[in-house]
Homo-oligomer: A and B are copies of this chain.
């Protein structure tokens, strides 16, 4: 359509907005006691040269040094355009039957839309990291695949700009046997994990790292630690069982992505580890949204090396936790993992681009978990809900409209629906809609709840007993600035 001159002239007018800016989140990164990190892992993070600024770390490794078998599980983006490191990590997990025991991660370049060269580079990263593992001493069974020539015990992750080849020689130089990531230079405490976490960062404003003990009820003390990264293009939907892949290796990725690495010293069998990860991912990383956009590189990996199992009667126990044989221990492991991964996932939402609010969306009273999850996801991605949260506006109509737009397993009954705001300071909840009827809202009280950084929006469908939570942030001027103006 031809543009009349008036439109073109007017389009160049500008306005000035004064608005809340996103607060500093630096206080969310704190030192952690060395003793809380799992046994039997060595980590490090260095500047290899992928990023231009020499003060920025861009390459991390994690090696399992346990004398017991190490299990590995992973969950990958469902995006059809998967980056080369995703392809390679899937192949390694397949070839080792879940017995990978190392991870290499670079930031600054996503190795995406890089064709055959990208795939070759990702394999080269894996093999260089294998060499750091001293494979002759591996307690793991030999790889089960017939592709013996391409077998590796290393998973690979990349994040950063797309459509550019990896500076692979710089990365391989940093990974050389006696280089800055050689095993004797690595550590197992806070300093080493923190260096690795910094090497994951792209647009993140702080390194994301947590560690804690993991009680499984067997009298031992296991530990779990994790790193993640992400600030934009965050609406992961990851699966543990790879779907049939396409024939091409051409791939793409954005400038931001979700990456997560979790390690525990509990002894867990590979299939059981994958089962626990699938459950936990759905309730943690697959339950966060910053902007509703799914990345092509999203990957979460989980290692369990048994190094915390100690000595039974003078000899090493070779018993690994198995879902069918140890259902009680399995549920404790799965639920402890889920709780820990929720804490890691929430750090990503708190660092959301332009975010000024951290909002929990709770959907209760659903007939099925899937119904509850779908509604929570839809509310979490509604531009109208997210701008209302930014504007601190108690706009329950937008929450209701988003709820009603989701196709469900059975129809909603509007007369059973309740919507409330829940403050996080334990003060009384604020009902907005009660059994389908609007409440006379106390605007002063609503403003009080909405002016806090943290709040919960709860929707009760009144149809059943299933529930799901999502964590999301608001939608601010600064989000538009970061994602619209960053080239100008």
Contact = CB atoms under 8 A, between A and B. Distances in A.
Interface of A: 1, 3-4, 6-8, 10-21, 23-25, 27, 78-82, 112-113, 115, 162-163, 232-233, 237, 243-244, 246-248, 250-255, 291-296, 356, 358, 381-384, 387-388, 390-393, 397-398, 400-405, 407-408, 411-417, 424, 433, 436-438, 452-454, 474-481, 483-488
B397 A292 contact: no
A348 B436 CA distance: 30
B15 A18 contact: yes
Given A81-B404, A254-B384, A401-B296, A27 B14 contact: no
B403 A233 contact: no
Contact of A253 (B384, B397, B407): B397
Contacts of A474: 484
A407 B78 contact: yes
B296 A3 contact: no
Nearest to A482: B387
A243 B410 CA distance: 12
A248 B414 contact: yes
Q: Which residue among A383, A398, A408 has the maximum number of chain B CB atoms within 10 Å of its CB?
A: A383
A417 B81 CA distance: 10
A455 to B, nearest CB: 11
15 contacts: A1-B424, A7-B27, A11-B453, A19-B480, A78-B407, A81-B400, A113-B438, A252-B397, A255-B397, A292-B292, A293-B401, A293-B402, A294-B405, A391-B487, A476-B480
B404 A296 contact: yes
A155 to B, nearest CB: 21
B411 A244 contact: yes
Contacts of A454: 1, 3
Contacts of A163: 397, 438
Contact of A384 (B15, B390, B476, B483): B483
Contact of A252 (B252, B384, B404): B404
Contacts of A294: 401-402, 404-405
Contact of A436 (B10, B25, B250, B405): B250
B480 A292 contact: no
Contacts of A479: 383, 387, 480
A437 B483 contact: no
Given A233-B384, A254-B398, A397-B163, A391 B488 contact: yes
B483 A480 contact: no
A412 B15 contact: no
Given A8-B453, A19-B480, 8 more contacts: A1-B424, A6-B27, A7-B25, A15-B18, A17-B19, A292-B383, A387-B484, A477-B481
B15 A21 contact: yes
B27 A21 contact: no
Contacts of A255: 397
B296 A415 contact: no
A165 to B, nearest CB: 11
B477 A15 contact: yes
A413 B246 contact: yes
B484 A3 contact: no
Nearest to A435: B250
Contacts of A483: 383-384, 387-388, 391
Contacts of A78: 405, 407
